Amino acid sequence: MSDKVLIVDDDPSVLKLLEKVMHSNDLETTLADSGLAALNCIKNNTYDMILMDVMLGDMEGFEVIKKLRSQGIQTPVMIVSGRNEDYDSLYGLSLGADDYITKPFRPLVLGAKVKALIRRYKNQVLDSSDILECGPFSYNTSTMRFYNKGEEIILSSKESSLMLLFLKHPGQVYTKEMIYEHVWGNSVAVDDNAIMVYINRLRSKIEEDRQKPAHIVTVRGLGYRFIP
């Protein structure tokens, strides 16, 4: 069975182009031309990937991502936008998007990125036993739900991947290269900003004081260590 991709864009020509790229990669597609249409699709169906435009007719794609993550939906989201600005990419990542690509894009690159994201997300679900416990934290890998002292904390797919890395190896120092290779699947072109975005997001969710973290600790000059 082919993986399913939801494509969200209010430009019919872009929808057709994205659909063509996905079909060339043996992926099934559903098309949505507005934020509301996308939310309705996600409410009634399950997808392996979402391609999200930023500027939609009825709302910004960022708002759609917010709603998904607030509902605990962790389907990988890639922003596909014509706005080539660092703010947009960092803001999208901070809301829980998993990747960002700008228009015009190279079809081969987009297809490879989408398939890689789907593969990593599925491997993440299958990797390890159902319940992983470490200090006050627990993670149910079958339901992709994370808890701190029994209280559920909503994580995006990349936050989940990073949190699982820490939970499985408490006390180990991870360099930025190691983190980027594990979470993004690439250790050659490390994006320091992307790593900092997700470290800060996790800290804001699990630390009592994000400015003085007790769990995700910076090891100066090296990287990060997780102390449960």
What is the per-residue pLDDT across 146-166, written as a single tens digit (0 to 9) for each?
Answer: 899 888 888 888 888 899 889
Above 90 in pLDDT, residue 226?
yes
How many angstroms separate the Cα of 85 from the Cα of each of 92, 106, 142, 171, 198? 11, 18, 37, 36, 19
Strands 4-8 and 28-32, how do they pair? parallel
Among 5, 14, 104, smallest CA distance to 47 is for 5
Per-residue pLDDT tens over the stretch 167-225 = 888 888 988 888 888 888 765 567 888 889 999 999 999 999 989 999 999 999 889 99
201 close to 161: Cβ distance less than 8 angstroms: no
Q: What is the pTM of this model?
A: 0.60
CATH 1.10.3720.10 holds for 128-226? no
Is domain 4-124 in CATH 3.40.50.2300, yes or no?
Answer: yes
Domain ranges of the chain: 4-124, 128-226
Give the per-residue SS3 of 99-141: EEEECCCCHHHHHHHHHHHHHHHHHHHHCCCCEEEECCEEEEC
Integer Cα distance of 139 and 71 in angstroms: 17
> CB neighbours (10 Å) of residue 101?
16
Q: Do the two domains 4-124 and 128-226 of this chain adopt the same fold?
A: no
pLDDT digits (tens, 9 = 90+) for 7-55: 999 999 999 999 999 999 999 999 999 999 999 998 888 899 999 999 8
Burial of 64 (0-12, 13-18, 19+ CB in 10 A): buried
Do 51 and 25 meet the contact criterion of CB atoms below 8 Å apart? no
Contact between 114 and 25 under an 8 Å Cβ cutoff? The reply is yes
Contacting residues for 123 by C-beta, under 8 A, at least 6 apart: none
* Rounded Cα–Cα distance for residues 164 and 140 (Å): 10
| pLDDT at position 188 | 57
Most confident range (mean pLDDT) of 17-26, 88-97, 123-132 is: 17-26
- Residue 143 is predicted with a pLDDT of 75
Inter-axis angle of helices 157-168 and 107-126, nearest 10: 50
Say which DSSP state 57 is in. Answer: S
**Per-residue confidence band for 127, with pLDDT thresholds at 50, 70 and 90:** low
